[in-house]
Amino acid sequence: MSHSAATPPLQRFIDFYQQPLNSAALAALPEVYHADIEFSDPAHRIAGLAPFQRYFDNMIANIGHCQFVVHSAVQRDSDPLAFVDWSMSVQHRRLNGGALFTVTGASKLKFSGPGADAKIIYHQDFFDLGAMLYERLPLLGAVVRRIRNQLGQ
């Protein structure tokens, strides 16, 4: 992923995630994320670009496929905050019987400053961890789905 200096930071983020995530794609992390990135999701808290890179390396090593579709992205003028609505298609040999599945979520992003050279310094993902993980496990999945269905009645 190579961009001109004028590519807006939010567009760099979108372009990064809309390509299949693999080892080659991960080389672009420093173009998108600040060295002092703080990342969190329902299962992780990571500080710093090197640990964030290791997180992605481990994820890529354990999945067969991972790709995002960005449905919408909102950022007002030079506001350092942006919000992104996405869905992620993922295939993992230990989840969902190894079959591809999709999870929807959203990201809250904070950029290091205004301008095209800004990078993401804060990234928080919001998604249903049960739908992504617990419901996809062979034994636990049936129990979690049953509880979820009973709560919905």
- Domains (range + CATH), the chain: 9-127 (3.10.450.50)
- Residue 60 pLDDT greater than 80, yes or no: yes
- Residue 139 pLDDT greater than 70, yes or no: no
pLDDT tens for 3-44 read 555 789 999 999 999 999 888 999 999 999 999 999 999 999
Q: Is 135 strand, coil or helix?
A: helix
- Residue 141 pLDDT greater than 70, yes or no: no
Output 27 or 147, whichever has higher pLDDT.
Answer: 27
Phi-psi category of residue 77: left, alpha or beta, with phi > 0 → left and psi -120 to 50 → alpha: left
Mean of pLDDT values over 127-145? 69
CB atoms within 10 A of CB 109: 21
Neighbouring-strand partners of residue 71: none
CA distances from 149 to 11, 130, 142, 144, 145 (A): 38, 13, 10, 9, 6
- The pLDDT score that the predictor gives to residue 77 is 84
- The pLDDT score that the predictor gives to residue 134 is 62
